[in-house]
Structure formats: structure tokens, C-alpha cells
Amino acid sequence: MSRAYGWTDKGDAVVEDEATVIRMMATWLLEGGSLRGLTEHLKSEGIATAGDKTWQTVTIKRALTNPRMIGKKKSGDKLVDAEIPPILQTRTYNRLCKLLLDPERAKFTGGRTQVALLGGGIARCGGCGRALYSSASTGRAAVYTCSTRSGECPATVSVQAELLDADVTERVLARLSSPKLRAALTKSINQLGSRDEAEARIEDLQARYTALGEDFADGLIERETMRAGTDKVRANIAAIELKMKQQEVLDDLPEPTPSAIVEWWEQAGPRQRHDVVSILLDHVTVKPTDRRGPGGLDDERIEYVWKK
């Protein structure tokens, strides 16, 4: 796993060159510079993250608002001393948090921060198999529900989002906290080799995909052969892209201990949490029920399919 940018692997000493970059980032933003402009500047200067990746706006925001910047860590609702040397002054850190975590900034994101934990097809309807979508209205709890506008769903499936999210979160954090599972996942990812090698494999598969279409057009293969071949190529590309995504997400996670994982999760944003869930959970199906009224989550309605 990648170390925290600005500190040594053990976190007991500051890496001065990186600390200088962090202080530059803080100055850039506090003097009116934009996050997007900062990412472009870092890219042009060849400055990468500790995991040798390109800095993104969300990565910068998360790094600069992490209490470790002032040698602290979260304990409940309070900040307590951590065994890590500070890089920023407390006043600078507080100004950054006020700037970057200001709710007013969310008004200009076009709703992009509203990311459902199980959005994007992770939650599925047990009646028709379609994706459930997150729906909320004033005065009512948010739910995951199936759209029945098409009239094709045999059942109206709905479940309280808070309950399902909590159940998924508990299961996901348990998996992330397991050294054995993390080691197995890392081993599977490492079989791909470097990112350049993985991208080269995808490029080769895409060329094969194009060749299949050309062979069918030239009458060299039958339709059934083309379909079988293209389905396999698509599956292989999807598998490589998943491993690349898993590597990207895992690089941002702390060591697999329950306390570290929970702390990271509490500090993570909606998009980060969704990305973590998406690399582990293929989908969760919510089955129809006749049960009505308040109550907890009915385990018999929920079916998990985890990625391998």
C-alpha cells in the first residue's frame, strides 16, 4: 500500500521535498488558486503522488484536510495527538479546511457530490433485475427503488437506503480489514504486471475485437463465432479494467486493520466510498416483500454477489 505523501513509510519522519510540495499546495489555494489549476501545475512539473499517480482535485482536497497535516488524528468528534510529525501550521490547516470543506462550494458542483453508495447498478431489483436508484423527498427517508414506469417489473421493490447502506458498509469494512483477503486481492492484481503492461493488453484485445468484426464482414467467420469471440474479448477487457481500478483504489487505503479502515472510511467522501464498494461488490439484489411498516433490514431479502 502507498505511504502517506509527505512522510516516510513508518510515518515517523517528514520527507522534506514532499513537505515543500504540500506547503506549496496550501499557499496556492489560500492565495486564490483553483484546485484544477493546481492539478495542472503539479502535472506539468512532473510531481506525482506517493503511489506515483497523477494528482487529482479530490486527492489534493483529501490530503490537505487530513488531520495528519498537523500531527493529529480523529477520535470520535475530536482531534487528538498522533505519532506523526506535522507539516502544516494549525492556522493554515484550519483555513484550508474552511476553504475546501465549505458546504457553499457544493452548490457549484452540479450535484456531482450526490453519489449513492450503491448507485451505478450495484443495487439491483429482485423483481426485474434492473438497477435500483436512490430516491429522496422532503420529510421522508431516502430509499433505493425500482422504476416501474415501463410497467415491466412484476413487483415494486423498495428498501430504506440507510439500512441497506449500513449493511453493505459493515460487510465491506470487514473484508477490507482482513489481511488474508487483502493479500489475495493484491496478489491477483499484481498478476497483471505494471499499468503500462495492462494498458498494452487492453490495446491488443481491442485490436482483436476490431479484427473479429472485419473477419465477419469479409465472410471469414460465421456470426456465432464472431459473437462468441467478441463476448470473450469484452469480458477480458472488463476483467483487466477491474484489476486496474482495484489497484487504484487499494493504493489509497491504509493497512488492513479495523481501526485504520474505519478511520479512513469516516473521512472518505461519497465518491471514494462508492469506488471502494464497486471494486469488491459485483451487486446486491433486493428481493420483493409483502412486509410493510417500520423495522430493520430483512436479511432474507438481500443477496450479495462479491467480485473475485
Which of 9-13, 151-155, 201-205 bottoms out in mean pLDDT, i.e. has the lowest?
A: 151-155
Q: 2.40.30.10, 1.10.645.10, 3.90.1750.20, 3.40.50.12780: which CATH number matches 16-108? A: 3.90.1750.20
Residue from 210, 242, 243, 201 nearest 229 by CA = 210
Name the CA radius of gyration of the chain, rounded: 23
Is-contact 19 269, C-beta < 8 A?
Answer: no
Per-residue model confidence (pLDDT) at position 112: 40
Interval 194-248: pLDDT, tens: 777 888 888 999 999 999 999 999 999 999 999 999 999 998 998 888 888 777 7
What pTM was estimated for this model as a whole? Answer: 0.58
At 269 the pLDDT is 77
Determine the Cα–Cα distance for residues 100 and 118; give it in Å rounded to an integer: 26
Task: Tell me: pLDDT of 83 over 70.
Answer: yes
Greater confidence (75 vs 277) lies with 277
Lowest mean pLDDT among 10-24, 60-74, 278-292: 278-292
Quote the CA–CA distance of 272 and 190 in Å, as a whole number: 22
Neighbouring CB atoms inside 10 A of 265's CB total: 16
Query: Cell digits for 298?
Result: 430483512
Q: Residues 18-40: pLDDT tens digits?
A: 999 999 999 998 888 888 789 88
Q: Which residues pair with 133 in a beta bridge?
A: 145
Tell the burial category of 207 from Cβ atoms under 10 Å away from its Cβ (0-12, 13-18, 19+): exposed
Listed ranges 107-111, 154-158, 233-237, 247-251; the one with the highest mean pLDDT = 233-237
Per-residue CA distances from 22 to 9, 69, 80 (Å) = 17, 9, 22
Q: Where are the alpha helices (DSSP H) in 139-257?
A: 161-176, 179-190, 195-217, 223-250
- What lies within 8 Å, CB to CB, of 167 at 6+ separation is 297, 302
